[in-house]
Structure 1
């Protein structure tokens, strides 16, 4: 339990603290809160949101009516959501990459087949419920909220895993099933963000710069040293690169890739994803919540360890800048997001998991019952972090976005639902 709680305290408690401050601040003094969120840090031509759009939306509030011929504004919100959150998504990508590429990766082989199929259900179920209810509420509501269909597809890996252990016990096979599902959900979420939520006009040719940065840094600082060290167990070239250059070439490549993503129109918070696979990695992984994971010294894990504390602070500011919604903003998007999570997730995961286990004969882990799929679905309905992020990019700032964010925040109710579902399903806790 130590490693799980340590992970949650590292990556989630500061996020919650920031979100709580934001909620109180936005409901006590909304004007000063939004003034802080959209504060302009730098008018420039390199990094930031479109200057003319920012000026039209916020210029009057800041008593700015002209910014010359600059094209971009680096606001506080852009700095956190579009620049710094790239490190958070890099850590998520690292876990997904290891799960897929390593020989003992958790998303490889037959053991991952049923969770992967269940993950598909855990995404299609919420989408169906969200869009179906939006259609039922009328065309006006549907047109206003349809872009938020991906918000309820997310699963907060840290809190879901923690609640899963509370409901099932550390040794229950459903906990590992839940973790595989959550990792696969993260992977799908990154793809959805990249494809369906561009941050501007698309210029896909700019991605060639990102690809070039990834290929060059891999060849020069990963593949070439290992090639030169063939048949030499001392590995002098790889050791020199590791000790003298460390992560710096990859950070430079990451900056180039991030800029290329910004210019391509894809969300720049995903800009480090092409660089993550280029870092030298261990031959095996112990799993995101394994105590042994902290002792791996390969460059990929070393970079993750270095990012640990900065990402804690980044998540605090992410919560502070994104969770500040007024309670009177609760509306149709709030209930649509909640319905997608609390109804669509459990139903989708159960149906697809059942089909995979029985008609497709992929089976369930030994000791896991069919009814446990419903409970796993309830636990996976905790969206929070990624749901909040998707809500911030799915809608422009305003009542619809605020209402959708409230649904993401309320998804913590899934923890209570999960505990009740576990009692009804008579889940027998298994200690590990």
Structure 2
């Protein structure tokens, strides 16, 4: 038994040594800088959605995935996971409850139809938001409910009601409609007509795949968002109007691309690995939302979302934090695999900022997936956050490279199917 134990320890040590050596060979600062510099260059124009800049960034990521040797999702022949968004421009609305006219400012219509007319015979499900209800929860449920709804919102929410218009600036294409009315009435008869100018626009995630050897239907996702804020001439810094987004989130996207190279070179993943560069995170997380609907969440065993790892964490170099650390045991698994490396993963030190819900991990986490974001950003004192000054010159590329290596090494048990994080308890999520 003693001899067997020594052999086992020797084997484990050799495996770790091989993985670490491979990480050092593949994940090098020179390559990290090349990718980061390309994504955050001025000619990407800040990678804002619906601009030539983001299309150029997507083409670059796709070409890198092809060069790495990744497969396309579902063998679809393209790394671009395209989907449509609709931008409805409001033109007008008329509403009457039991013959009485409702002020148009108290009616907000979510629709992808240029002209909409409904009444009490249209089959809409009526939902009431009472004064003591959680309006955010109700709004989230009806907008994702795939039904036609008439939502009667108590007038005590008048100060929040107008915020709904921001949420309809871009919608997933659907034949379902949701009508919100700020009122204390519960009508027996109603008529609502609305007109919008509808513009359909295309967006695309960039997705590459390494099929698992023995567990192809178990998925591990590595992700980051490649969009940013584009060009803003109103808030220029030193006459610079391009929001390059070097840290947010060219850094995370660079990490995803480097991890793809690493695991392709290692060539021993038992589970299927998905490498996803999401679009439209800054616009509302639309890319991750669409992506999450293409998978059975029970088959997704872990998600490593990587966001803003280009600067030192509050603990200094060779460290990062994990949002929602307490919601699963994934953080403990990762740290356990880094024993002896000098690198540390910590729980999110900024719980008041609700970072777990503010990045692309949230969509899959709400489906029970152990989905977390890894970051180093000092969110209480990040001088370049959402500014034109977020450029490659502000990043610590050596430290960023070490973080990518740490993610590679810490994830190996999950990638190989030997470790599986606990699921997120969705009952307590927002």
Identify, as 1 or 2, the structure richer in strand.
2
Identify the structure with the greater helix proportion. 1
TM-score (norm 1): 0.23
